[in-house]
Every structure is written in C-alpha cells, then in structure tokens.
Amino acid sequence: MTAALPALASGTTAPLPPSDPTAANLSPAQIRERAYDACLVTQAKIMATPRETLREPCRCYARRTIAAMTQDEIAAFRQTGYFNDSARGKALEALDACNLRRPI
C-alpha cells in the first residue's frame, strides 16, 4: 500500500523519490485505486481518523481526480508514478470537493 502514497495530491516542494517503474502500464482504474489507497493512508494520519470512516470521501477523491485528468496527465503519471503539476491541481480541487484535508 505504500507504493500508492505518491498518488495523493501534495503541496510539498521536497524532492520526490525515484520514479516508480510499476506505474508504466497502469490503467486509469489502477491509477484511481492507487489514489484511493494513498488517500486512505494520508487522510487517516492527518485527520487522526480510522481508515474505515474515510472510504467514501477517498472514493470521491480518487474518482474525481482521475476523471479530470487528461491523457497527457495519465501518461505523465505512468512515467513517474506521481501527479504532475496540472494533475496535482485537479487532485487538490478533488480533496476540497470531497471534504478532505489538503496535506500541506
């Protein structure tokens, strides 16, 4: 599940870990699942809430984020395993729309 963590929107300027080679062949549904898993882990930490209570908000976040991504953003994710700047903005909007906290 830790491989999913980079899929959550982040506002940090810290350098990213190396690219994730397992992302290269992911379908949009698999990217959505990674975003969902990352959401559960991250939001549980920052909200001090059990993961079970975050299932619906994190599904909302993952669905909205991946649905809003362009083909170029999907391709960029496949190259790195991370949201690029434009996809990150969409992910932050999805966090807000789904009543989740921004991890910044």
Question: How many structural domains comprise the chain?
Answer: 1
| Per-residue pLDDT at 20 | 84
Tell me, yes or no, whether 64 lies in a domain.
yes
Tell me, yes or no, whether 20 lies in a domain.
no
DSSP state of 2: G
Tell me, yes or no, whether 84 lies in a domain.
yes
Tell me, yes or no, whether 4 lies in a domain.
no
Distance CA 51, CA 4 (A): 15
| Per-residue pLDDT at 18 | 80
Tell me, yes or no, whether 80 lies in a domain.
yes
CA dist list (Å): 47 to 22, 40, 41, 42, 44: 29, 10, 10, 8, 5
Which residue stretches of the chain have pLDDT < 50?
1-5
Q: Residue 69's domain spans which residues? A: 25-97
For the residues of 62-102, what is the DSSP string, one character each? HHHHHHH--HHHHHHHHHHSS--HHHHHHHHHHHHHTT---
Tell me, yes or no, whether 17 lies in a domain.
no
Tell me, yes or no, whether 14 lies in a domain.
no
